[in-house]
Structure 1
Amino acid sequence: MKVFLKKNIKNRIRNGHPWIYENEIESYEENIKNGNIVDIFNHENFFIGKGYINFNSKIRIRILTRKNESIEKDFFKKRFISALKRRNTKENSFRVIFSEADNLPGLIVDKFDNYIVLEINTLGMERFKSLIIDTIVELFNPKGIFEKSNNSSREKEGLEKFSGWVYKNGPELIPFNLNGLKFFADTKGQKTGSFLDQRINAKSLKNFSKNKVCLDAFCYTGNFGMHMLLYGAKHVTFLDYSQRAIDIVNLIAKENGFKNYETIVGNAFDILKNFDKSSKYFDIVSIDPPSFAKKATNKQSAFKGYKEINLRAMRITKDNGLIATSSCTQVISEEEFEHILFSAGVDSGKLIRVIHRGDQPFDHPYVLNILETKYLKFRLLQIENIKE
């Protein structure tokens, strides 16, 4: 089945971007159905690649390969092996497949010790689910595979959301080790259950946490706070809007033998404001909020959200204290994020010193040809009062 692109093919496609939009297509062969693999040609009948098609999506085709090859189990096995070679890690817990960045758009695969959690977000990738599961079993021989495909994008693809064990079985809370700490991936929680992308950024607090009073806001299951406790923090306050997340924080703290902490359930914006009013200050504040904007049209509201939460964090950080701040909003660039931090510093009367600049870890690679694969920004800031 063939698809022909318009004459003025975008450089974006020519230079390696896998997305083809509806308005970039000149014509289709008959009888193409949603989820089919199609051969993609330019207006001169020159082969460009193969991908899967979905007429329900604005992204009409996602390219899987630029070669004229069969899309079958061996194809997926090669993709997985290539991804593992890129990672070249001895870690037991890491992201195995990162969608477009690993040439498998629509697929996320995380490894939590002996268990695998996968997320399928597109109809085209859904059609290959059994081959993907077979490939994972062959390469990893896991104790179980949990599918956590409940992203809102599935509805746009014409798919129902799904969560459940698709190979063998396992616990609701999947235990795994990370940086010398015991954690749990929550099969009923966010994304794949735990955020592996911040594990290296959390280690940047190693030389600063000893004997410090710390706050982990938007903590989810406590990644930054647990690392601060591991590194000798005097006390950590964990804050999240989800009672379930806080329950898991308590479980993880117990598993690691930590007692010098407290938990708060509530809205971080409001609680940080109340801390300021009551003059409750911290040596280190971590803020790792969810994405404030999924689309560029919501960019300005995201700017306001990030500035507000960082300003409130700066106001409750002691002079020369630290803020570990993050943005996972893809539509906000590195430069824009730093400008937001600068603006919050000016409004709060602080000098903002960048101690460490973090990024996505090696198992969440980003492709310079595919801007959408770059999303995570992390800064470790020292906050100094401008006036005495």
Structure 2
Amino acid sequence: MTQTAPPHLPRLRLKVTPAAQTQLRAGHPWLYESSVKSQNRPGAAGELAVVLDRQERFLALGLYDPGSPLRLRTLHVGAPVTVDRAWWAQHLDSALALREGLFDHATDGYRLLNGESDGWPGLVLDRYASTLVLKLYTAAWFPHLSMVLELLSERFPGFAVVLRLSRNIQEAAKTFDLHDGQAVQGDLDGETVIFSESGLRFEADVVKGQKTGFFLDQRENRRRVEALSQGRRVLNAFSFTGGFSLYAARGGASSVVSLDLSQHALAGAKHNFALNPALVGVGHQTVQADVFEWLREDQGHFGLIVLDPPSLARRESERAAAIAAYGTLAEDALKLLGRGGILMSASCSAHVSEREFFAAVRGAVKRSGRGSVELETTAHAPDHHASFAEAEYLKAIFIQVF
């Protein structure tokens, strides 16, 4: 196994609650601090710790993080294994193989590693053309970073790698002389990268932008919006840098409105349109306003409205308010939809379940008293697949009203 602690120390061993043993055997990738009954010694971030069952037999192996409530992020469950460089290489290749055949030359922006769901807990890797963005959510990866970069350089020769860090580990990163937005491999020409998605060109702010620089997870829903936009006046609310707007324009929308509170985001939308000269003939308007307030005003009728807000529930205590907000947004948007208009409403709040979100939107449609046809509900794109409940955050619903 890869050593991250002084070699004279014994392997870090954890004994956990019976409930935690059951969850680990069932494939759940997290072991919480409260589930650790005892351990043979203190551990350092990034150590490979073994979990023992009631009979003190090997149960699981994972990355230890003493600074996180998620004390262990599981790498392997079952019979003992040797975790060395060859194991990591095979582990990486298995995840990359899942993306083979998903994208052609028209798309060079997508997710390569989706954290726990790909067996890389607390680590996300996205590709933007010839730049990789590596985002870490736990300090447990810092001791393994050089090995990860070596593996990436072998599989993506000539690619630059940008390191992004969640806020909770940025202070710990200083110990390793690392910081958020750092180019840790290759050369980066500026803070932004131009990439292609379904033949459209977009700019990603890989150094300072949200997530890893762009919302790659909505790609499949953007394609659906394109297919529904022909001849329609389209409103893209919470537009950010105009992802849905560009797809709607290419899909034949009569006009597109990008609505967002951030002037910086709207400037990004204008720039993305400029990157695609073929769309210049489509009327595109940017509006800087609070979406909740703007939707309550008389804005005329739209043929398609996209509601894709940022997470409205970042913690469990905000769940009830978020559910109510989703309902309010849908209710106000429906008043702006003409006969035969389509509402696409999405949620990226993990604390709001699929059932709760869909019920909020369907409830708004019912209260409107209008006839409706539910066209489709969607979840995660294949490169963002979720293998356990806590990873399931993205959901969307398409409804046509009359």
Q: What is the TM-score of this pair, normalised by structure 1?
A: 0.92
> Which among 122, 138, 144 is matched to residue 160 of structure 2?
144
Task: Go from structure 1 to structure 2 and tell me whether the alpha carbon gap of 1:159 and 1:303 turns closer, same or farther (over 3 Å shift).
Answer: farther
Alignment of 1:31-110 (within 5 A): 31-66=42-77, 67-89=79-101, 90-91=103-104, 92-110=108-126
Identity of aligned residues (%): 26
Alignment of 1:122-271 (within 5 A): 122-149=138-165, 151-154=166-169, 158-159=172-173, 162-170=180-188, 171-187=190-206, 188-257=208-277, 258-259=279-280, 260-271=283-294
Task: Go from structure 1 to structure 2 and tell me whether the alpha carbon gap of 1:21 and 1:173 turns closer, same or farther (over 3 Å shift).
Answer: same
Q: Which string of whole-angstrom CA distances, capped at 9 and with x for unpartnered residues, describes residues 237-288 of structure 1?
A: 11112222111111110111233201112211112122xxx34221111111
CA displacement at 1:154 relative to structure 2: 2.6
- Paired residues of 2:114 and 2:125 also in contact (CA < 8 A): yes
Task: Go from structure 1 to structure 2 and tell me whether the alpha carbon gap of 1:47 and 1:173 turns closer, same or farther (over 3 Å shift).
Answer: same
Q: What is the TM-score of this pair, normalised by structure 2?
A: 0.89
Counterpart-to-counterpart distance in 1, 2:350 and 2:312: 10
What SS does structure 2 have at the residue aligned with 1:350? Answer: coil
Amino acid in the other structure paired with 1:41: L
Structure 1 match to 2:13: 2
Counterpart-to-counterpart distance in 1, 2:163 and 2:349: 24
Calculate the aligned-residue CA RMSD, in Å.
1.9
- Paired residues of 1:19 and 1:62 also in contact (CA < 8 A): yes
Counterpart-to-counterpart distance in 2, 1:8 and 1:345: 42
Q: Which string of whole-angstrom CA distances, capped at 9 and with x for unpartnered residues, describes residues 350-385 of structure 1?
A: 334211222211101111xx211211101111022x
Structure 2 match to 1:118: 134
CA displacement at 1:55 relative to structure 2: 2.4
What SS does structure 1 have at the residue aligned with 2:296? Answer: helix
- Paired residues of 1:201 and 1:359 also in contact (CA < 8 A): no
Counterpart-to-counterpart distance in 2, 1:18 and 1:286: 34
Q: How many aligned positions are there?
A: 377
- Paired residues of 2:21 and 2:53 also in contact (CA < 8 A): no
> Which among 371, 379, 390 is matched to residue 372 of structure 1?
390
What SS does structure 1 have at the residue aligned with 2:295? Answer: helix
CA displacement at 1:105 relative to structure 2: 0.7
Q: Which string of whole-angstrom CA distances, capped at 9 and with x for unpartnered residues, describes residues 117-146 of structure 1?
A: 110110112221111111111111243111
> Which among 317, 330, 347 is matched to residue 350 of structure 2?
330
Counterpart-to-counterpart distance in 2, 1:379 and 1:164: 37
- Paired residues of 2:112 and 2:126 also in contact (CA < 8 A): yes
Counterpart-to-counterpart distance in 1, 2:223 and 2:322: 27
Amino acid in the other structure paired with 1:377: K
Structure 1 match to 2:329: 309
What SS does structure 2 have at the residue aligned with 1:297? Answer: helix
Q: Does 2:401 match 1:383?
A: yes
Task: Go from structure 1 to structure 2 and tell me whether the alpha carbon gap of 1:10 and 1:303 turns closer, same or farther (over 3 Å shift).
Answer: farther
Q: Which string of whole-angstrom CA distances, capped at 9 and with x for unpartnered residues, describes residues 4-60 of structure 1?
A: 223454522220101111222221112422332211111211111211222222211
Task: Go from structure 1 to structure 2 and tell me whether the alpha carbon gap of 1:279 and 1:30 turns closer, same or farther (over 3 Å shift).
Answer: closer
- Paired residues of 1:56 and 1:158 also in contact (CA < 8 A): no
Structure 1 match to 2:4: none
Q: Does 2:296 match 1:280?
A: no
Please, which runs of 5 or more residues in structure 2 have no aligned partner?
A: 1-11
Structure 1 match to 2:377: 357
